[in-house]
Amino acid sequence: MIANFGYKDATGEFYIAINTDKCDGCGKCVPVCPSGVLEVRDNEFDPMADEEMAAVTEEQRKKLSFSCSECKAGGSDNLPCVLACPRGAIVHSW
């Protein structure tokens, strides 16, 4: 499953997509984020399975364009969360 966390508003589209076929819930992406955007929790989108996945926290979900701006300043592609993931499960849409 691809879980797109984020939003689209009049200023643009801001999603962090987690691919649960790749993500094994290792949590390496969690501590590297300076804004605390990510956490590991139950895959609530498949209630019959018992797996954990990386996900955007409820608190950050609606303000990604602000929260991620530090890492993206200057148009940088070297995003700590993306680099930290050993399986390439994290993709930013903007």
Partner 1 sequence: MAKEYWRWKEYNWKDENIDWKEATTISGGVDVGSVSSQAVILCDGELYAYASMRTGSNSPQSAVNVMNWCMDGTGLRLDDLHFTVGTGYGRVNVPFADKSITEIACHARGAHLMYGPTIRTLLDMGGQDCKAISVDERGKVTNFLMNDKCAAGTGRGMEVFADLLSLPIEEIGELSFQVEEEPEPVSSTCVIFAKSEATGLLRKGWAKNKVLAAYSSAMAHRVVALLERIDIQKDFAITGGIAKNVGVVRRIEEELGLTTLKTKYDSQIAGALGAALFGKVLCEKKRAKQAS
Partner 2 sequence: MISVGIDVGAKNINIVVLRFGELIAKGMADSGFEARDNALRLLGEVLAECDLAKDDLDSITSTGSGRKDIDFANHSITDVTAATKGTITLHPEVRTIIDVGAEEGRGIRLDDNGKIVDFAVNEKCAAGSGAFVESMSRALELTIEDFGPLSLESDKEIPMNAQCAVFAESEVISLVHSSTEKKDIAKAITDAIAARVSSMVRKVGFQTEIAVIGGVAYNVGFIRSIQNYLEKDVLIPESPEYVSAFGAALLPGK
Measured distance CA(47)–CA(75) in Å, rounded: 38
Q: Concatenated DSSP letters for 26-88?
A: --THHHH-TT--EEEEE-TTSTTS--EEEEE-TTTTT-HHHHTHHHHGGG----HHHHH-TT-
Binding residue (CB under 8 A) for partner 2 from 10, 44, 49, 50: 10
Q: Does 78 bind partner 2 (CB under 8 A)?
A: no
Asked if residue 75 binds partner 1 (CB under 8 A), the reply is no
Within 42-71, the residues that bind partner 2 by CB under 8 A are: 62-63, 65-66, 69-70
**Closest alpha carbon to 29 in 86, 93, 77, 73:** 86
Q: Which does 4 bind (CB under 5 to 8 A by kind): partner 2, partner 1, none?
A: partner 1
CB nearer to partner 1: pick between 13 and 31:
13
* Positions in the binding site for partner 1 (CB under 8 A): 1-4, 6-10, 13, 15, 44-48, 61-62, 93
